[in-house]
Structure 1
């Protein structure tokens, strides 16, 4: 029984670690200074401790299915999509704005906050310690995930060289990741409230396939196509080889 409880704890903390990767990807590809990274770690640690303290007083399902959470979720997703496109376009034009736009990716979103709260609640069913301490454990794991993933993304070029190919994360890569996560968040904003409502005791019996499911799937497909078209527009088609800007070609452009 103790081995099973240990496995459950490891599984919960592993899911917390995965949720921290989003912030680490933003910090790594944007190459912001370490004080900013540590500041974000402290912010998420505080959020986790607060979540552990109030975990018995907050109904996560009601919050995630509320209009307020959906509005924040969709707004953040749209900011992420257009922020990613703006980052790619500016980088292709020779300007790096990733140190500003990365904030959209690392901003504490409803999904991350709900994940921290759910993790605290799940841990409280396995271990018998104070809620604040549970929140501190979750916050530490989240912070470690941010630091390790930031280190990994910043050294991605050296790591890929070891396996035989070259890939170095740039602000253009950050923009692509932001567009992908933004489209994923838009899809989740449609699907999550429906699944929460379907799982509630007061929900009507499920039928094989209704117009609601068809509409959800159709909107999800439209969002995916929308994100793909916007990414294609941001890339501007086939990328052209750029000539490095030197004093010679600056004064005598060809």
Structure 2
């Protein structure tokens, strides 16, 4: 109860601070918008446009790209009324850039074209060949973002599955399941609020975080070895009718350093993409919590025996998965620095994926055989 009360108090404190900071900023922006409207009412359209552009830049710095795009558009419309077409063109292009960052290539194209039309009013032979290049980049980023989001979701489900398998096979009660799911919800939720309060230092912190990649590899190796060792130990003890699953399941259920870093990077990724910190916290925390609850429910309702032996097998499987991650992921890190062009997928590109899937199937087969031999040997 004391722990629950402390977590609730921390949540209320961070939420209150974030809301107060947000409210103060909203007042300043609202004052600027009110002043811009007054300027527009008396026909000072160019000055109104400049204020709207200033508001747009504020929202863009806060990664609120949808709001930034709307204010860039408002600024452009007032610049058009003032017949300052160069400024109008710049504002429309800025709006297009916001949509491009949001991977909305259709709206980006629309505002880029409108910006180019305004430039042609002062430069008749203005060339807009840059639009095609920007849209190509937008589409490539859209594909890469989709793949990145898919990878992030699979990563979250992987860590949630680890916790769910531990809860399911250890036959933990409802209160225990809800407590673990609550922990997985609260950690990313609080992380998102903290990231939202310190956007300016986010990129620097992420860069610093990447300098500790060897430490994270060591953490993951430690967790993998512990899972393998305790998995075998759980099976061995159960063979002598000694049930230690209520202790060893904690290694599966509680967040490890690697999963906490995954939560942080996931929250940071979505906030950088322009989502509000509060919504990111609900999204990431909700995916973790719901995945744990659903997978645990499916395991408990399935016909699979909920025994320490099966818990040990699950621990061995996730231990092997962690080990394979350490082996395979570093080999693909240099891809980050490459110039990637999106093209068709050839048969040669599919073969490595099929080989990896085949290796994982073979590993699963040998893990099961190894477990059976260990039981017979014991």
TM range (shorter): 0.5 to 0.7
Note the 1:39-58 alignment, pairs <5 A: 39-52=179-192, 53-54=194-195, 56-57=202-203, 58=205
Q: CA RMSD in A?
A: 3.8
Q: Distance in 2 between matches of 1:118 and 1:36?
A: 27
Instruction: Give 1:242's aligned residue.
Output: none
Deviation at 1:77, TM superposition (A): 0.8
The verdict on how the C-alpha distance between 1:18 and 1:230 changes in structure 2, with shifts beyond 3 A counting, is closer
Contact 1:83 1:178 in 2 (8 A): yes
1:84 to 225, 231, 245: 231
Which is higher, the Rg of structure 1 or of structure 2?
2
Instruction: Give 2:176's aligned residue.
Output: 36
Contact 1:80 1:178 in 2 (8 A): yes
CA displacement, residues 176-210 of structure 1 (integer Å, 9 cap, x when unaligned): 111111022122223333433x24549xxxxxxxx
Q: Distance in 1 between matches of 2:182 and 2:221?
A: 26
Contact 1:124 1:134 in 2 (8 A): yes
Instruction: Give 1:100's aligned residue.
Output: 247
1:113 to 248, 260, 282: 260
Instruction: Give 2:320's aligned residue.
Output: 183
Contact 2:171 2:306 in 1 (8 A): no
Deviation at 1:37, TM superposition (A): 1.7
The verdict on how the C-alpha distance between 1:143 and 1:90 changes in structure 2, with shifts beyond 3 A counting, is same
TM (normalized to structure 2)? 0.47
User: Unpaired runs of 5+ in structure 1?
Assistant: 158-166, 203-219, 240-254
Q: Distance in 2 between matches of 1:178 and 1:98?
A: 11
CA displacement, residues 94-121 of structure 1 (integer Å, 9 cap, x when unaligned): 1211111111112312442233233223
Contact 2:228 2:320 in 1 (8 A): yes
Aligned length: 207
The verdict on how the C-alpha distance between 1:60 and 1:233 changes in structure 2, with shifts beyond 3 A counting, is farther
* Higher share of residues assigned helix: 2
TM (normalized to structure 1)? 0.67
CA displacement, residues 213-237 of structure 1 (integer Å, 9 cap, x when unaligned): xxxxxxx99xx69x84863553226
The verdict on how the C-alpha distance between 1:61 and 1:111 changes in structure 2, with shifts beyond 3 A counting, is farther
Moved more, 90-99 or 187-196: 187-196
Structure with more relative contact order (C-alpha pairs < 8 Å, separation 6 or more): 1
Matched, 1:69 2:209: no
